[in-house]
């Protein structure tokens, strides 16, 4: 069985909006109330998937959740028409587009039973995300239904917050080789909540059957959380034997690096000093919320948003690193401005799964023809733009529901309706 890394991107849903619901996510707060462009956002996401395919990477997809979430509102004793605007915005959120928060994934080489394990994230910290997991779990159970190769777990009980792969990293000599899994958790972060609880991380490690000797638990820097790094993947990303991080990412940096040096053959630590790239620049540009990948040519590649090129300190550091023959050999730039404006960069939009693509339900695997088909649906059905004041307009709701139905029909995934 050929194990490769598959990047599963969330298709941006037709209800994409700027309601500013995510406390601690500075971009989300800054752009609250702005006019959103769901069609442009979804097309940008599809173009990013095309760019991954052009690099020779395996690409998967997840579909938007049903919005508004009528059942959730019903459980709260109201309806979408009667809900106050704040509650209605929570029920209309398109944040499931950020597939990095869908689940935590441990590939088969790391687990006791030799299966790839996935635990759906409970996302309990934020109301607008706390009701995502049932629809996410339904997709995971379809996409990874092959019980010989996959085990899909229910969420960790909500007493302990779990935000999925955004706080999880894996280091290994190669994707198909045994690796070291790093769970990054928060304690406090000034005025903002720390979203990943250490007990949730420990529970997932046990559920996945990970080797305790090759499983690390690292506290996130309080300074990073307070500066707007609401998830670890805003300040650090790993791929193969390379850990790429900001100097202020981890509370116990030296201990983490020493453990990785001991456990990961060929480990390389690429650290960006705060003197070169101040933490606010790293967060606003999403330098680390990039896709660090290894295409078939073996050249470790960093896929960054346009904002990284537009931030002088960040682009200057990247150019010096490339010129110095560092671990990162190539930088690719993608336009995901609509996602960035809501606080999600290229890495937020994808969940990494190391598996044989032949063991995955093919409806969730992308190729150029399928992406062209989806782009046609988006161009025809997604709202071009709307303001938050319109979120409860009956005509908009009908358009959003029809658009999602058209997408499911195009993918033959109507069982998710």
Catalytic residues: 163, 231, 348
Contact 331, 304 (CB under 8 A): yes
Contact 227, 283 (CB under 8 A): yes
- Return the beta strands (E) in 89-185 as ranges: 103-106, 116-120, 150-153, 168-171, 180-185
The two beta strands, 180-185 and 215-219, are parallel
Angle at 36 between CA 30 and CA 38, to 5 degrees: 135
Contact 55, 82 (CB under 8 A): no
The H-assigned helical ranges of 196-348 are 198-207, 222-226, 253-263, 279-285, 306-310, 312-323, 337-340
For the stretch 120-140, what's the b/e string if a residue is b when 16 or more beta carbons lie within 10 angstroms of its beta carbon?
Answer: bbbbbbbbbbebbbebbbebb
With residue 352 as reference, give the H or E element that holds it: strand 350-355
For residue 50, give the nearest of 331, 350, 370, 307 by alpha carbon. Answer: 370
Angle at 258 between CA 288 and CA 325, to 5 degrees: 50
Question: What is the C-alpha to C-alpha distance for residues 207 and 299, in angstroms, rounded to an integer?
Answer: 34
């Amino acid at each position: 069985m050929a194990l490769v890394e598959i990047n599963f991107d969330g298709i941006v849903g037709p209800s994409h909006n700027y309601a500013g619901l995510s406390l601690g996510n500075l971009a989300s707060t800054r752009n609250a109330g702005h006019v959103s462009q769901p069609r442009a956002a979804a097309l940008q996401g599809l173009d990013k998937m095309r760019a991954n395919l052009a690099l020779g990477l395996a690409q998967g997809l997840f579909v938007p959740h049903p919005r508004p979430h009528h059942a959730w509102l019903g459980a709260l004793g109201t309806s979408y028409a009667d809900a106050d605007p704040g509650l209605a915005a929570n029920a209309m959120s398109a944040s499931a587009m950020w597939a990095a928060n869908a689940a935590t994934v441990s590939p088969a080489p790391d687990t006791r039973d030799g299966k790839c394990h996935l635990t759906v994230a409970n996302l309990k910290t934020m109301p607008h995300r706390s009701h995502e997991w049932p629809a996410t779990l339904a997709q995971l159970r379809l996409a990874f239904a092959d019980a010989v190769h996959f085990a899909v777990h229910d969420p960790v009980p909500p007493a302990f917050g779990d935000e999925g792969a955004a706080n999880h990293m894996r280091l290994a000599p190669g994707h198909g080789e045994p690796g070291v899994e790093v769970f990054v958790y928060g304690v406090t972060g000034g005025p903002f909540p720390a979203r990943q609880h250490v007990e949730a991380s420990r529970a997932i490690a046990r559920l996945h059957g990970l080797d305790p000797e090759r499983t690390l638990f690292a506290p996130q820097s309080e300074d990073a959380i307070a500066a707007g790094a609401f998830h670890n993947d805003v300040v650090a990303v790993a791929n193969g034997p390379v850990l790429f991080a900001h100097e202020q990412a981890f509370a116990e940096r030296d201990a983490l690096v020493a453990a990785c040096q001991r456990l990961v053959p060929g480990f390389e630590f690429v650290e960006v000093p705060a003197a070169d790239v101040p933490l606010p620049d790293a967060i606003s540009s999403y330098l680390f919320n990039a896709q660090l990948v290894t295409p078939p040519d073996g050249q470790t590649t960093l896929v960054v948003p346009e904002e990284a090129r537009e931030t002088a300190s960040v682009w200057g550091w990247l150019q010096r690193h490339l010129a110095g023959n560092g671990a990162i050999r190539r930088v690719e730039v993608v336009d995901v401005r609509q996602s960035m404006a809501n606080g999600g960069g290229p890495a937020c939009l994808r969940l990494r799964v190391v598996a044989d693509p032949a063991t995955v339900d093919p409806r969730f695997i992308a190729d150029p023809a399928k992406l062209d088909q989806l782009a046609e649906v988006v161009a025809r059905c997604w709202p071009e733009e709307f303001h938050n004041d319109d979120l409860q307009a009956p005509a908009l709701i009908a358009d959003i529901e029809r658009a999602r139905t058209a997408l499911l029909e195009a993918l033959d995934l109507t069982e998710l309706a």
